Amino acid sequence: MNIHHWTGADRRFRVFASPASWIEGASVAQLRLLAGRRGFLSAAAMADLHPGHKGPVGCAIETEGVIHPDLVGTDIGCGMALFALDIEQRQLHIDKAFKALHGLHEAVDAGDRAHQAAIAPDYAPGMGTVGGGNHFVELQVLDDRADEAACDAHGLRRGALFLLVHTGSRSLGPEVLERHGVGERGLDLQSPEGIAYLADHDRAVAFAAANRKLLAETAASLVRGNARLITDQPHNFVEPRPGGRVLHRKGAAPADRGLSPLPGSRGAQSHLLLPEAGPGEALASLPHGAGRKRDRAGMSDRAKDGDRPPRANPLGNRIICADRRMAAEEAPDAYKNIARVLADVEEAGLARSIARFRPIVTFKTAEARGR
């Protein structure tokens, strides 16, 4: 595979994407700027690389002895969790499911919310909520098994229903960054400040995982099923490594923690990846999705045109999104081709797809309604 070296002879930077993949120049510029960070060692970017607020999204950054909280950002612990339901598509009444899922946020039990939020009780109101941006809860059906043995080992049946949940630590993450943010200077790993950040960071990561679990269990109950966790992988987090090294992942899923979802952004199929022994330069990381092709500002202009009819979803997926601007910003054509991203992953030997899922209903946000 042709792995791009965007900085020429500087082999500290790797982008695991083929020439067929489109990588925005602004994201490459942000990647190069990481060399100026204190303690910087190397960076690995994936085919879903795109510009972010404080740095590129879709990459892993390794430093020596220094934590950079701003590279992880505000949504600490944000990630993807896949849950299997104990019902199949043939048992689903799609119109009833679509109607029921409109009430997802309201259906969250107050007792369950308080229990799951016990790790950070001051932030309990955000527990069991999806949030904005590209977050979602998606009802899917497994329609192709590329690796029958691997699917059998994890109980992944063709025709069965699944929930893919993408959300994070809600208001807890921004508060942690605000409290510990020091700009581009970073925090020494072994300093009291670094240790304090990691403690709060770990709390936010746990909060985010609990949030995904509560949302999945609530959504499952609305379609009269039960949820079983297949995998939960954060993609915004810091991980201390042996020898005083620190691995920052910003929009990059870990490749050393088992199965990893690769979502296709509402208008495309999603995949479940089985990591492989890829090159060390990849920093044990994988793409976390398709990655943005068009920025939100450009996409939101569509929301201003009241006469523009909504485009039909290419897969017939039903979208629950009461926010017109969000619907425009997160339209399927705002994202890259997931098939191209997957091809780059497999050609680089990072992982392979064992199963493919088709979206049926995607929940983003709905108007509040009385019970």
270 is known to lie in a ligand binding site:
yes
In angstroms, rounded to a whole number, what is the distance separating the alpha carbons of residues 357 and 121?
35
Is residue 99 annotated as involved in ligand binding?
no
- In degrees and rounded to multiples of 5, residue 165 shows phi and psi of -115, 125
Is 137 annotated in a binding site? The answer is yes
State the number of CA atoms in the 13 A half-sphere of 85 facing the CB.
27
DSSP state of 1: -
3 state SS of 350: coil
Write down the H helix ranges in 117-229: 148-153, 172-180, 192-222
The answer to whether the annotation marks 236 as part of a ligand binding site is: yes
4 is catalytic: no
- CA end-to-end span of the chain: 55
Q: What angle do CA 254, 260, 264 make, to 5 degrees?
A: 115
**Is 300 annotated as contributing to ligand binding?**
no
Closest CA to 363 of 58, 29, 104: 104
Is 98 within any annotated ligand binding site? no
Residue 291 annotated in ligand binding? yes
Enumerate long-range contacts of 26-33, CB under 8 Å, 24 or more apart: 26/51, 27/51, 27/52, 27/56, 27/57, 27/58, 28/56, 30/55, 30/56, 31/6, 31/56, 31/59, 32/6, 32/7
Q: Is 165 annotated as a binding residue?
A: no
Known binding residue 293? Answer is: no
Strand partners, 358: 141
Is 290 annotated for ligand binding? yes
Nearest to 262 by CA among 144, 341, 335: 341
Which two structure tokens, joined as six digits, stand for 143?
A: 């329609």
d(CA 327, CA 136): 12
To the question of whether residue 138 is assigned a binding role by annotation, the answer is yes
Catalytic residue among 68, 102, 201, 288: 288
* Contacts (Cβ under 8 Å, ≥6 apart) of 218: 104, 107, 108, 109, 112, 128
Q: Is 36 annotated as a binding residue?
A: no
Q: Collapse the DSSP code of 275 into the 3-class scheme (helix H, G, I; strand E, B; otherwise coil) and give the result.
A: strand
Residue 271 annotated as binding site: no
- CB 202 within 8 Å of CB 238: no
Residue ranges of the annotated binding site for GMP are 134-138, 235-236, 270, 288-291, 364
Residue ranges of the annotated binding site for Mn(2+) are 135, 166, 235
Q: Which residues have a catalytic role annotated? A: 288
Residue ranges of the annotated binding site are 134-138, 166, 235-236, 270, 288-291, 364
